[in-house]
Structure 1
Amino acid sequence: MRSAPNTFPTKKDAERWLVVVESQMVRGEWTDPQRAAIPLGAYADKWITERPALRPRTVELYRWLLTKHIEPRLGEVKIGDLTTAIVREWRASLLASGVSESITAKSYRLVRAVLNTAVQEDGIISRNPCRVRGADRENPAERPVLTVPQVFQLADAMPHKRLRVMILVAAFATLRWGEVSALRRADIAADGSSIRISVAHTEVKGRGIVVGPPKSRAGVRTIAIPPAIRPEIVKHLMTYVGPAPDALVFTGPKGGALRRAHFNNLTKWPVVVRKLGVPGLHFHDLRHTGNLFAAQTGASTRDLMARMGHDDMRAALIYQRATSEADQRIADRLSALVEDRKIDNDDQDDDEDGAAGALGPVG
Structure 2
Amino acid sequence: MLTLVSKEKTFMKSNMIPNIKETDFWRIRNFLREIFLLNGRVESSWHVARWDYWRWHYIKTCQVFKSYEKVTTTWQQEDESILAVLHPIGYGEVRLHIHPDFRTPEHEDEAFTFAEEHYSDVTDDGKRILIVPVFESDTLRQKVLANRGFKKVPGWGHHYWYDLDSSLPSRVSPNGYEIRSMGMLDEHPARCWSSWRAFHPDEPDEDYSGYSWYQNLQSAPLYRRDLDIVAVAPNNDIAAFCTIFYDDYTRSAVTVVVGTAAEYWRQGLGKAVMIEGMHRLKDMGCTRIFSTSHEEPADALYGSLMKEMKVSDSWVKVFKK
| Larger Rg over CA atoms | 1
TM-score (norm 2): 0.31
Q: Which has the higher helix share?
A: 1
Q: Which has the higher strand share?
A: 2
TM-score (norm 1): 0.28
Structure with bigger RCO (C-alpha 8 Å, 6+ apart): 2
